[in-house]
Amino acid sequence: MRRRTRQTVAAIAVLLALALVTAAAAQSKMPKLPPPYVFAQTGDSPGKVTFDHSSHVDESAPSCTSCHPKVFSILKAGGSVDGTPITHAAMEKGKSCGACHDGKKSFGIDDCSLCHRAQ
């Protein structure tokens, strides 16, 4: 009787392990990304900036937590985590987009045409 119980427990453990592995594999697929976000053009801006998640997410290892909630609000599109406006001055200090777009991790903010598109 004990042997049968052990076999049953072992079979359940194997099935649970398989379920966990399957669930982990399913989660490694690309998440459904929000649509592109267009920032309002302000001041002497050379053009609107459109943020597209698909150009910022590594499909082989998608991770929303790289930016959310450390740098950007996940609840307010186009919002920084501390609520301050996203400006070039802030980016030069490593805030918002400048956390990655520093010329080392990713291209810097010195070429306007990489982000700003004239309409």
Per-residue pLDDT of the chain in tens (119 residues, 90 and over written 9):
576 776 665 556 665 655 554 555 455 567 789 999 999 888 888 899 999 999 999 888 888 888 999 999 888 888 888 888 888 999 999 999 999 999 999 999 999 999 998 76
Annotate 19-56 with b (16+ C-beta within 10 A) or e (fewer). Answer: eeeeeeeeeeeeeeeeeeeeeeeeeeeeeebebebeee
The pLDDT value given to residue 74: 86
Both tokens of 33, joined, read 């990304």
The pLDDT value given to residue 93: 94
Both tokens of 3, joined, read 């042997």
SS3 state of residue 19: helix
The residues facing 80 across adjacent strands are: 72
